[in-house]
């Protein structure tokens, strides 16, 4: 406990201090918050005997304590480890080869792991008795912000082993691949280049990679932080030395108050004659009196695309039977290439465009007329949809726009017509009255003694589930002593083998005008085939009168993941420049494990933060924290993909 307290104090000191490169040593202390992890320690090991983890059995995992504030890594990370190739008789083997991989990881409070960077699988060669070797893995140009509450971790793993394949696997018990650490002669460690967050200058861009068309602007919004205690004038510069591309850093100098930040835009524009695959990587540097920071931006030229848009110039038109009407549409080439579009008319009454195709250059548009003739027998008030589709000959791109054609019929004037209309309405009203009287007497003769209702009568579930139907029994009789009824309940229908169907009550008494609820529970075996189903009837038999039944259906489907999300913000109300932490709680109420999920945070349509590689088991939930900086107006959207 004393050692853990010292680690926490050192961690707080390092976050606020001005050290750039920080050593973390692999210790043998179990991590207090993350099961399966060891602790990364600031103290150099002094023990005489090494601890070890056998990579043939499991990967080796270490992590720091959670950071108290957002902490940025900016530079090259090096991981030095001692690997031992152990064999019962090493002198009998001329050579051993072990293939090792090292990763730098971000460990969320929930335990979810995101890989920041990883090395390629690296072969290590051991000659005869030289079974211990120190090697350093390099991760270049790491630029990453570890969120507050998260831990920074290291993962060492063995990626390939011929001894895991038959027949060589027979000899695997005689070999082991060990990571040695936590001793004075086996100091395995990781060297992290932290960018100072307690003072100096910090630079951040949430989307440093963009893809644009030739001649179009890629606009990067940068956040420049002044973490010092005094106002500072910060210079923004670019590594671009000139050429066909255009780079505009916007405000070359920014005045930023102490413990505050400001925004600036960097615009990168490829030349109009750029081709697919062209790209430009540049480094943007922010320099102040207390320090500097830099980041890279990658802009690439998107492949040319075909595109088309059709617009209806009239929402609706009216015409009489036998009349021809003309609709106008506008066809525009919204792609990057010259294209020809075939034209098709959709209308139940037929119709034809004034041409069968149209060829357009990039950005060009043409008006197309479509003529439709209303049939002579069309009734007054009838509406039909008239649509024009433009389909690209060189791609699958197409677009459709629609208008509405309404039939308007003006009847000729005449006294005889009005008289016949009056007679028709009188006969119609008399007929309706007769039907209502007849229906009343028939209802009195065949009055039901019970009504059955259920809001959800069909269920589609996975094997192993339990379905509960709530059935309402309604006594439709008058609320008198004679109206009280006793009902016997039972279940009939097709019940598959091993399925269990049970009613919560087999008999119920209901006063006239009242209702009661019973529950039908159906238990489905886990080994039921997906083509299995059941159709059940809940039958209610009154003391007197006819029985009534209600049919219920259950079908089976594949187990699936079903995610429910809850989103909160801390603080709940925030202004421009405030740091906001959005917490996303995701619950899997389905039957299948949700794997490799992504949570992406958008503010005003721009991506601000994301977490990937999330796994949620059935009936489990995770909490994800996404920090971001509030703007003047904030329309927040969270997507789970």
**201-301 homologous superfamily:** Immunoglobulins (2.60.40.10)
Beta strands in 112-172 (DSSP E): 113-118, 122-127, 132-146, 151-160
- Residue 174: pLDDT above 60? no
Looking at domain 308-407, its CATH superfamily turns out to be Immunoglobulins (2.60.40.10)
d(CA 224, CA 236): 9
Residue-wise pLDDT tens digits, 536-584: 888 888 877 778 888 888 888 888 888 889 999 888 888 888 888 899 9
Residue 286 has pLDDT above 60, yes or no: yes
Whole-prediction pTM: 0.34
Cβ-based neighbour number of residue 277 at 10 Å: 9
If you average pLDDT over residues 4-23, what whole number do you get? 42
CATH H superfamily, domain 563-640: Immunoglobulins (2.60.40.10)
What pLDDT is recorded for position 137? 93
Locate the domains of the chain by residue range.
Answer: 2-195, 201-301, 308-407, 451-556, 563-640
- CATH superfamily, domain 2-195, is Galactose-binding domain-like (2.60.120.260)
- How long a stretch of residues is the chain? 641
Which residues in 44-77 are b (16+ Cβ under 10 Å) and which e? Answer: ebeeeebbbbebbeeebbbbbbbbeebbbbbbeb
Render pLDDT for 505-535 as a digit per residue (tens, 0 to 9).
888 888 888 888 999 999 989 888 888 888 8
Over the stretch 470-488, which tens digit does the pLDDT of each residue have?
999 888 887 776 778 888 8
List, in sequence order, every residue forming a beta bridge with 120; answer none if it has no partner.
none
What per-residue confidence (pLDDT) applies to 189?
A: 93
Give the residue carrying structure tokens 């680690």: 7
Taking only the tens place, the pLDDT of each residue in 353-386 is 999 999 999 899 999 999 999 998 888 878 888 9
Is 563-640 the same fold as 2-195? no
3-class secondary structure, 539: strand
Task: Report the SS3 class of residue 104.
Answer: strand
The domain 451-556 is classified under which CATH number: 3.30.450.20, 2.60.40.2310, 1.10.287.110, 3.30.230.10? Answer: 2.60.40.2310
pLDDT value of residue 80: 94
So what's the pLDDT on residue 495? 84
Give me the pLDDT at residue 415, please: 46
Determine the pLDDT at residue 271.
93
């Amino acid at each position: 406990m004393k050692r853990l307290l010292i680690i926490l104090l050192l961690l707080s000191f390092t976050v606020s201090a001005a050290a750039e490169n920080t050593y973390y040593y692999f210790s043998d202390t179990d991590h207090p918050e993350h099961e399966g992890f060891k602790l990364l320690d600031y103290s150099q090991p002094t023990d005489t005997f090494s601890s070890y983890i056998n990579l043939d059995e499991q990967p080796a995992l270490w992590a720091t304590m959670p950071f108290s504030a957002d902490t940025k890594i900016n530079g090259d990370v090096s991981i030095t480890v001692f690997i031992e190739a152990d064999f019962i008789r090493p002198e009998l083997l001329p050579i051993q080869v072990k293939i090792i991989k090292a990763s730098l990881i971000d460990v969320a409070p929930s335990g979810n792991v995101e890989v920041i960077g990883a090395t390629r699988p690296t072969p290590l060669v051991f000659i005869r008795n030289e079974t211990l070797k120190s090697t350093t893995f390099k991760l270049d140009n790491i630029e990453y912000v570890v969120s507050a509450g998260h831990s920074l971790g290291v993962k060492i793993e063995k990626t390939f082993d011929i001894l895991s394949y038959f027949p060589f696997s027979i000899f695997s018990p005689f070999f082991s691949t060990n990571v040695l650490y936590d001793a004075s002669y086996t100091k395995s460690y990781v060297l992290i280049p932290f960018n100072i967050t307690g003072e100096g200058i910090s630079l951040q861009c949430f989307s440093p990679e963009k893809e644009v068309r030739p001649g179009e602007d890629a606009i990067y919004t940068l956040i420049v932080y002044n973490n010092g205690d005094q106002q500072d004038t910060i210079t923004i510069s670019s590594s671009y030395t000139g050429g066909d591309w255009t780079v505009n850093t916007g405000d070359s100098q920014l005045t930023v108050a102490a413990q505050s930040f400001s925004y600036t835009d960097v615009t990168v524009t490829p030349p109009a004659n750029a081709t697919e695959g062209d790209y430009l990587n540049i480094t943007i540097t922010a320099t102040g009196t207390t320090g500097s920071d830099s980041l890279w931006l990658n802009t690439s030229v998107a492949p040319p695309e075909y595109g088309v848009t059709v617009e209806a110039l009239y929402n609706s038109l009216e015409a009489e039977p036998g009349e021809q009407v003309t609709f106008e549409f506008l066809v525009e080439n919204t792609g990057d290439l010259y294209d020809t579009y075939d034209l098709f008319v959709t209308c139940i009454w037929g119709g034809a465009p004034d041409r069968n195709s149209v060829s357009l250059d990039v950005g060009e548009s043409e008006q197309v007329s479509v003529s439709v003739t209303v049939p002579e027998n069309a009734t007054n008030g009838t509406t039909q949809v008239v649509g024009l589709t433009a389909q690209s000959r060189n791609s699958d791109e197409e677009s459709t726009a629609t208008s509405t054609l309404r039939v308007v019929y003006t009847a000729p004037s005449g006294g005889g017509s009005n008289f016949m209309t009056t007679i028709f309405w009188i006969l119609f009203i008399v007929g309706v009255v007769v039907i209502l009287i007849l229906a009343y007497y028939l209802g009195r003769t065949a009055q039901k003694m019970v009504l059955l209702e259920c809001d959800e009568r069909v269920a589609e579930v996975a094997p192993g589930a339990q379905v509960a139907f709530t059935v309402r029994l309604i006594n439709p009789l008058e609320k008198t002593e004679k109206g009280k009824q006793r009902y016997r309940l039972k279940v009939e229908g097709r019940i598959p083998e091993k399925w269990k169907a049970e009613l919560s009550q087999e008999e119920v008494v209901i006063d006239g005008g009242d209702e009661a609820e019973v529950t039908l529970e159906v238990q489905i075996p886990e080994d039921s085939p997906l083509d299995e189903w059941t159709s059940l009837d809940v039958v209610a038999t009154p003391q007197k009168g006819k029985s009534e039944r209600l049919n219920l259906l259950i079908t089976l489907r594949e187990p699936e993941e079903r995610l429910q999300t809850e989103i909160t913000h801390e603080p709940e109300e925030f202004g421009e420049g405030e740091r906001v932490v959005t917490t996303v709680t995701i619950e899997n109420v389905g039957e299948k494990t949700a794997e490799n999920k992504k949570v992406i945070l958008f503010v005003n349509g721009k991506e601000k933060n994301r977490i990937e590689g999330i796994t949620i088991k059935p009936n489990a939930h995770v909490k994800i924290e996404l920090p971001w900086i509030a703007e003047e107006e904030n329309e927040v959207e969270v997507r789970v993909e």
